[in-house]
Structure 1
């Protein structure tokens, strides 16, 4: 249990948080403050029920504040009679609208060490906030997810609901056996509480989620440009940041009303698809349009070209082309060199000491698929993978595809490929790099080995040698017809006749040499006409 500044950061393997041992509900003393941020647009009655339930929480009232962000409600929202002691309404910040914008507004003014998102139509059990917050007292790189089911609005006033929550008797109000289950809960149970999940961010879908405040801000908050699926996109960025997702089914809640996905699933799915296609590269099913460029690439390819005088301009250009023309087209190439230190102003163009580097900059600075950087960023996130390799070994057409398949197969965080005398190439998983950074690892490779695993391979596995094409047998000639290859060769050689098997392929004969002893070929009609005129004049 940690509080204050001391934080224990155990190296959790993938998403298996089993080493963490949360305290029993009611059997511990909380220390971290919690800010419950509720984005709301209209729906005053449901908001009243949400606040009435929050007013009956087991988490200490002195450590909890509630911030309702009014996202342009008409009429404006008001605080009802029954609310937690430290509750306020703030308007959504100017210049934007929507759930993401409202959440960012609330997080910006939150004082709590933990930020708890809660929808304005959620009714939570009395231990809900405590159940999620207890995990954040263990370590600081977790995202906790509460349970939820969908029900119709209860025939209760906020005061009546408040009493039921405080008494721990909400089961008498909501018949959970008839409630509509959440698909996320089904995934949680199927993957042993997300311990075995390959992509646990999939179930981090909004209505009740909590994390440390610094974690929320470290990934830039929620993208206000995403109007549908903003919770999934945010969770994906949290995943590449290296967090661990912990669902706690003791944090029970019901969602009032049937979700939009159930009312019109096809339209809801279509509304989300373009937002996630551009921002979540792991959703390969959404990136099937050929020839497209996406906001967040699938792979970053890093090449160090600072010693271009030794490497050679043509070699760099060939390596870049190989990266962009491979079977994985969704690529961003980063060329690392001291670009910003190139002096500007008047200089001898041909005698410039940085002549080679300037040529490269001009070659690539106008291509949106290529980025010029002075140094490598600590992590490629939100791009999920980063390849780094020498310019002297250009990527094969399917090298990236093979490498990604390898790390996806065993979920390793780092692949190291031995390239012999040319050194090595690596493929890093952003999630693993992010985890190493969150753990404060001095040795990144050792950290990744502990949390995700390191895989090794050789060049032949990912740069396979293509077999030489087998020679094709020569076709048998037909009488009176030239062979196709010979016909083409005869045309290129000015009509040389070829003999095969005693048969002569017709062609235009060459002029004989003077010593050949052969008669001259027939002359053209102009030559014959001129000869006849000379003969007539001579006679």
Structure 2
């Protein structure tokens, strides 16, 4: 994402605590950003008519709104009712896929607004709904705003009734208050102080009403069209890895027509399909990866070694050390001059190209090992990246223990400094992505991470204890079961040596709380090849 121009620098939000942002009061400001409301729809013409009637009564300026209904092969095809926002059109879903994610991508491609709002085709939203969500996007461009919703059986309503009730500010009067069903996500949001205290706020971003700026949307390249159920959670997970902050706004009220779908045998089957998709694409859902023998589409940790100038035995030893560690949900990226092997050249023994050819022959068929000229700016969508010298691969339990410590302490960067000047780093992808977004020209990425997530420096033997269980980190609970209490603060450095984008010496070293610190041993953190 490019830096903002013509406005103040982006605010540096710590974790998901957006408290430094103060949105303008509803009705007391002048919006300027154009917005595209994208509605994926498959059938349900009458409910769509009610949704469009509510959209026609919004307080956000009508000339700044376009509405795109994406018809996902409805039979009969959807039509536009008379009562709708003026700038509304229907876009047919293209061939090659189905489902809300595929339809959303078609709508996004047609959208022209700076803000993109994803809205279900069975939502009656309050008149301030769009204004409440969009006002945040006028403050900065890396927010994802989430509207509220309650569920109701659909009463006999006309579009005119909905429009009048929304225009007068009382859409709830259309429904029996005793029959309205609260959303479970609203309770989670409340307990976690409006998600300010949430460890994984993406989990409540389930789709019916969500908005974000175009740049952030482009950064994650839209929805995954292969995910036909659970696509909103998967999308939100990738937004989190891009450094996004999630802001629910209670003033963005809505009623979802129809009761929650996850009921009965059919609902349970849908949940199983959702979990099958998320297991492969959302590594933080450790509860969905209970079988250690499997290989997953998105690994939990990426390990990066620069193999430039290294001989084959050292490279092979480093890769094998990672692959036989206690944390098996990993991928290894070997960066170096792999183009030396291109063009049909001969590889003379004793040359760098010959060693690289041996390595590629050894690991070229192992899907866990990748070859690249250089590492990508972040590990996204992988949530963690470990980078170490080729002659200092991790000891068997290092990744398991270090990742666990990062999760418990909520730090964004762990710098491991061993004797002899060797340094390894464990990065949290969301922290690096946000720091890259916020850093001023020439500013060290580690300095920004210290402000937004925290940086911890550690000595090698703090984590060098071989696990006696051989098990991977415990499953991370979903937000609905997490405590609302914020994590204890972690002492952070303001600069780092040997850290991503860093330069200069650190001002000080953070230390773990005694109960979090691993027992010390005499073995070094890094293996010697």
Interval of TM-score (by shorter of Structure 1 and Structure 2): 0.7 to 0.9
Rate the CA distance shift 1:348–1:175 in 2: closer, same or farther, 3 A: closer
User: Partner of 2:526 in structure 1?
Assistant: none
Is contact 1:8–1:138 with CA below 8 Å preserved after alignment? no
Rate the CA distance shift 1:346–1:407 in 2: closer, same or farther, 3 A: closer
Rate the CA distance shift 1:3–1:56 in 2: closer, same or farther, 3 A: farther
User: Partner of 1:200 in structure 2?
Assistant: 201
User: Partner of 2:41 in structure 1?
Assistant: 40
* Gapped regions of structure 1 (runs ≥ 5): 468-539
> How many pairs align?
463
User: Partner of 2:90 in structure 1?
Assistant: 89
CA displacement at 1:391 relative to structure 2: 2.1
CA displacement at 1:392 relative to structure 2: 1.9
Rate the CA distance shift 1:154–1:465 in 2: closer, same or farther, 3 A: closer
Is contact 2:53–2:159 with CA below 8 Å preserved after alignment? yes
What CA distance in whole angstroms lies between the structure 2 residues aligned with 1:465 and 1:385? 20
User: Partner of 2:497 in structure 1?
Assistant: none
Rate the CA distance shift 1:4–1:327 in 2: closer, same or farther, 3 A: closer
User: Partner of 1:281 in structure 2?
Assistant: 283
Structure number with bigger Rg: 1
Misfit runs of 4+, over 4 Å: 2-5
Higher relative contact order (CA 8 A, sep 6+): 2
User: Partner of 1:269 in structure 2?
Assistant: 271
Q: How does 1:72-471 map to 2 (within 5 A)?
A: 72-264=73-265, 265-308=267-310, 312-342=311-341, 344-347=343-346, 349-350=348-349, 352=351, 354-441=353-440, 442-464=443-465
Is contact 1:236–1:280 with CA below 8 Å preserved after alignment? yes
What CA distance in whole angstroms lies between the structure 1 residues aligned with 2:94 and 2:296? 29
String of CA shifts for 1:99-120, please: whole Å, max 9, x gaps: 1111000000101000000000
CA displacement at 1:457 relative to structure 2: 0.8
Name the TM-score, length of structure 1 as normaliser. 0.83
What CA distance in whole angstroms lies between the structure 1 residues aligned with 2:6 and 2:87? 25
Rate the CA distance shift 1:280–1:104 in 2: closer, same or farther, 3 A: same
Name the TM-score, length of structure 2 as normaliser. 0.85
CA displacement at 1:72 relative to structure 2: 0.1
String of CA shifts for 1:241-291, please: whole Å, max 9, x gaps: 000000001000000001211344422321211100000000111111231
* Gapped regions of structure 2 (runs ≥ 5): 469-529
Rate the CA distance shift 1:26–1:405 in 2: closer, same or farther, 3 A: same
User: Partner of 1:519 in structure 2?
Assistant: none
**Helix, strand or coil for the counterpart of 2:430?**
helix
RMSD over aligned Cα atoms: 1.8
What CA distance in whole angstroms lies between the structure 2 residues aligned with 1:248 and 1:175? 23
User: Partner of 2:471 in structure 1?
Assistant: none
What CA distance in whole angstroms lies between the structure 2 residues aligned with 1:408 and 1:364? 31
Rate the CA distance shift 1:322–1:353 in 2: closer, same or farther, 3 A: closer
CA displacement at 1:350 relative to structure 2: 3.1
CA displacement at 1:156 relative to structure 2: 2.0
